Chains A and B, each alone.
Chain A
């Protein structure tokens, strides 16, 4: 019934003017961008970030600095206790923030207790379970018959992993964790409390980390294989040269040169958080929020989630096949294949 689509390229003689109506050569297709923008602003955005690292590495402070407000777990709880939990807990807190008309539902997922025990075997398991549970919830909602207009997205978009600034190399715990989790979620490794490293030490440390990541086959965000075109690759290569970012977090303001700046005041000087000569916080913020946020969400949605879905749906198929099977003739087996393929 439909003919083959030979992409026909008639270009309306657009003079590039955006005047409405009077210019008869202007059709108005690019008004869809405006429509899309309006719709996005009305709906708002969702972002779920998970922070993982030992206690005392400045995770909560960094979250507060990133979003310039009290979004961390400690600030949300009325009486924060400073004890280290016996097992890993997963605590997620949601915030509604708005900037220039753009509303965002930010969920910060904290993992107190990670890496803090004496025996840290399998400490990544509760975290992996949590991430997979979010995928499962989304999948269940998606295959419902009566499903909501907009499926609430609680999938973890990005996991910030805090590496303590030892200056030597990655610890086995770090390697294990990142190796396992880079397959299910976008990992962004950062060097925490980087004000304890000099610039040379910092560069050396970063190089060592990069080599170790490469040697272990760990693909952190931005993943090489998901670069879409040459332009993307150039931008992402520049980022890959700089990870892991050496960050310093602070939510206190000090006066420097007459301006109020976020920083840490020490006896030998003030470390400015947003100064790229001092630390790479600005790069991290740009990557996460200003330029690559949509890309992070897309990779989570279309690659990590789809991988999970394929695995999950195949699992239940296999469970089916393990039941006693009567020998089937060819015709029946072929239909079996078709069914598998449909679901």
Chain B
């Protein structure tokens, strides 16, 4: 292990006090009032490496970021993603004949210097294509809720692995507005209103090379005023951290960003830049005079990615969790305002549930028994019938038999009689023959005489 050299400052007995940031000193004073003493250090202790340790750990672990792109088909969502992250994501343009809105998500692993990012891009397929668009927003809301639900389930498990859990909650929602130049469509307003309490919405004007500069200014003003008057809360870049407060507040005034996406490169001067080439000129993507793409990239990735993730976790997810748990019937305090532990409430609920199940089971059992009885009775009936039939048949059979017997008997009698007659006849015949012979002789004698 390396031996750290002594600070020359400490050797002079230099007491490290607070740095120039006055904010920190007021924080300390406030915290000191809360029961902690503010203590000056007499030398270099070394915990200023804590942020570095934290960062190193995160780097080893990797980051994840999930973007949801909502917008009508053909507004250039996939192209913008390609341009933002400077790679070619897979996928081909979707057809316009989808029956409903589905969400397709793709995960990519990007790496830049030593930072690994697991980026998930979720696209709404078929948004705005149907004739009846009343239910378009539903699948999007369901998808976002499903991600929150998955995280909530993981958090509530007994054996959980939050540390290595792949977070799929949507951190930023880019809402693509069609460049009509007039105002927001009603579909846009409705969808954004439904989404603003669930996700950080960043509205952007897509394909903004279709609008001229003056129209664009008016369009932006119209959009912002419509959003405000309808109470839609879009994501505001945070202005409390002084190092980024300035840039964030300027950017806030440029919302919604008017962007152009392009993955084709065109030679301008002696550099290859991403641009769209028209007969009347070239629109350069990264030229701040041409479009706000650079601002979007700056805000989304380079300055506020961490804040977006934090807002998702501490505001949107907590809200979802609170609503869901309250829905399930849990409360924090009971009417006597004694804190209920979640555990106790859960036990009570479970008992209730078990009781209900018992009751249902009893009912089912009763029904079962009854059915069985009925069936039994039926079967008995059938059996009886069968028996009767059997008896009848038997009787019939016996009758037949008897008849046959009788017939046979009579036949036998006849046969006997016939035999008797036959024998009698034979006897007679014999006798007759004998007598006849003698008679014949006699007759013959008579004749001769």
Q: Are A96 and B31 in contact (CB under 8 A)?
A: yes
B377 within 8 A of A: no
Chain A 260-298 interface mask (CB, 8 Å, partner B; 1/0): 110000000000001010000011011001111111001
Please measure, in the bound complex, the distance between the C-alpha atom of A253 and the C-alpha atom of B88, giving whole angstroms.
63
Q: How far is the CB of A312 from chain B (nearest CB, A)?
A: 9
Q: Which of A203-240 contact B (CB under 8 A)?
A: 228, 238-239
Q: Are A286 and B4 in contact (CB under 8 A)?
A: yes
- CB neighbours (8 Å) of B21 from chain A are 101
A121 within 8 A of B: no
Whether A143 touches B342, Cβ cut-off 8 Å, given contacts A29-B110, A298-B57, A341-B157, is: yes
Q: Are A1 and B143 in contact (CB under 8 A)?
A: yes
- CB neighbours (8 Å) of B60 from chain A are 228
A14 within 8 A of B: yes
Q: Which residue of A lies closest to B10 (CB)?
A: A68
Whether A11 touches B50, Cβ cut-off 8 Å, given contacts A21-B294, A42-B241, A295-B57, is: no
Q: Which residue of A lies closest to B8 (CB)?
A: A259
B113 within 8 A of A: yes
Q: How far is the CB of B351 from chain A (nearest CB, A)?
A: 8
Please measure, in the bound complex, the distance between the C-alpha atom of A330 and the C-alpha atom of B230, giving whole angstroms.
53
CB within 8 A of B357: which of A37, A76, A313, A335? Answer: A335
Please measure, in the bound complex, the distance between the C-alpha atom of A79 and the C-alpha atom of B211, giving whole angstroms.
77
Q: Which of A59-111 contact B (CB under 8 A)?
A: 66-71, 76, 93-105
Q: How far is the CB of A178 from chain B (nearest CB, A)?
A: 24
- CB neighbours (8 Å) of A102 from chain B are 47-48, 50-51
Please measure, in the bound complex, the distance between the C-alpha atom of A44 and the C-alpha atom of B88, giving whole angstroms.
40
Q: How far is the CB of A290 from chain B (nearest CB, A)?
A: 4
B306 within 8 A of A: yes
A41 within 8 A of B: yes
Q: How far is the CB of B14 from chain A (nearest CB, A)?
A: 11
Q: Which of B319-334 contact A (CB under 8 A)?
A: 321-322, 325-326, 330-332
Q: Are B85 and A20 in contact (CB under 8 A)?
A: no
- CB neighbours (8 Å) of B243 from chain A are 38
- CB neighbours (8 Å) of A335 from chain B are 357
Q: Are A99 and B44 in contact (CB under 8 A)?
A: yes
Please measure, in the bound complex, the distance between the C-alpha atom of A136 and the C-alpha atom of B157, giving whole angstroms.
17
Q: Are A3 and B105 in contact (CB under 8 A)?
A: yes
CB within 8 A of B301: which of A28, A314, A326? Answer: A28
Q: Which of A291-310 contact B (CB under 8 A)?
A: 291-295, 298, 302, 306, 309-310
B447 within 8 A of A: no
Q: Are A2 and B104 in contact (CB under 8 A)?
A: yes
- CB neighbours (8 Å) of B162 from chain A are 302
CB within 8 A of B314: which of A70, A149, A328? Answer: A149
Q: Which of A42, A70, A276 has the most CB of B within 10 A?
A: A42
Q: Which residue of B lies closest to A99 (CB)?
A: B48
A19 within 8 A of B: no
Please measure, in the bound complex, the distance between the C-alpha atom of A302 and the C-alpha atom of B104, giving whole angstroms.
33
CB within 8 A of B3: which of A27, A94, A144, A282? Answer: A282
Q: How far is the CB of B285 from chain A (nearest CB, A)?
A: 9
Query: What is the size, in residues, of chain A's interface with B at 8 Å between Cβ atoms?
Result: 103
- CB neighbours (8 Å) of A293 from chain B are 47, 50, 53
Q: How far is the CB of B80 from chain A (nearest CB, A)?
A: 13
- CB neighbours (8 Å) of B297 from chain A are 27-28
A340 within 8 A of B: yes
B39 within 8 A of A: yes
Whether A99 touches B47, Cβ cut-off 8 Å, given contacts A8-B89, A12-B112, A105-B31, is: yes
Q: Are A7 and B41 in contact (CB under 8 A)?
A: no
Q: Which of A1-54 contact B (CB under 8 A)?
A: 1-3, 5, 7-14, 16, 20-21, 24-33, 35-42, 44-45, 47
Of B114-122, B388-396, B420-428, the segment with at least 4 beta carbons within 8 Å of chain A is: B114-122
- CB neighbours (8 Å) of B48 from chain A are 99-102
A118 within 8 A of B: no
- CB neighbours (8 Å) of B52 from chain A are 37
Q: Are B153 and A342 in contact (CB under 8 A)?
A: yes
Q: Which of B335-360 contact A (CB under 8 A)?
A: 341-343, 346-347, 350, 353-354, 357-358
B63 within 8 A of A: yes
- CB neighbours (8 Å) of A94 from chain B are 35-37
- CB neighbours (8 Å) of A13 from chain B are 86
B1 within 8 A of A: yes
Q: Which residue of A lies closest to B49 (CB)?
A: A290
CB within 8 A of A33: which of B44, B85, B115? Answer: B115
- CB neighbours (8 Å) of A274 from chain B are 6
B286 within 8 A of A: yes
- CB neighbours (8 Å) of B103 from chain A are 1-2
Closest 9 CB pairs of A and B: A5-B107, A10-B87, A35-B306, A294-B53, A94-B36, A28-B302, A2-B105, A68-B43, A100-B48
Beyond the given A2-B103, A27-B84, A291-B49, could you list 18 further A-B residue pairs with CB under 8 A, ordered by the A residue number?
A8-B106, A12-B87, A14-B112, A27-B85, A32-B117, A33-B59, A36-B306, A99-B16, A99-B46, A140-B341, A143-B342, A144-B342, A260-B12, A282-B3, A282-B4, A310-B159, A320-B347, A340-B158
Interface residues of B (CB under 8 A from A): 1-4, 6, 10-13, 16, 18-19, 21, 24, 27-28, 31-32, 35-60, 63, 84-90, 102-115, 117, 120, 122, 143, 153, 156-160, 162-163, 241, 243-244, 273-274, 286, 294, 297-298, 301-307, 310, 314, 318, 321-322, 325-326, 330-332, 341-343, 346-347, 350, 353-354, 357-358, 361
Interface residues of A (CB under 8 A from B): 1-3, 5, 7-14, 16, 20-21, 24-33, 35-42, 44-45, 47, 66-71, 76, 93-105, 140, 143-147, 149, 228, 238-239, 253, 259-261, 274, 276, 282-283, 285-286, 289-295, 298, 302, 306, 309-310, 313-314, 316, 320, 326, 328-329, 332, 335-336, 339-343
27 contacts between A and B (CB under 8 A): A1-B104, A1-B143, A8-B89, A8-B90, A9-B111, A21-B294, A24-B274, A33-B55, A42-B241, A69-B40, A94-B35, A95-B37, A96-B32, A98-B16, A99-B16, A101-B24, A102-B48, A105-B36, A140-B341, A143-B342, A286-B1, A293-B47, A293-B50, A310-B159, A339-B350, A339-B353, A342-B157
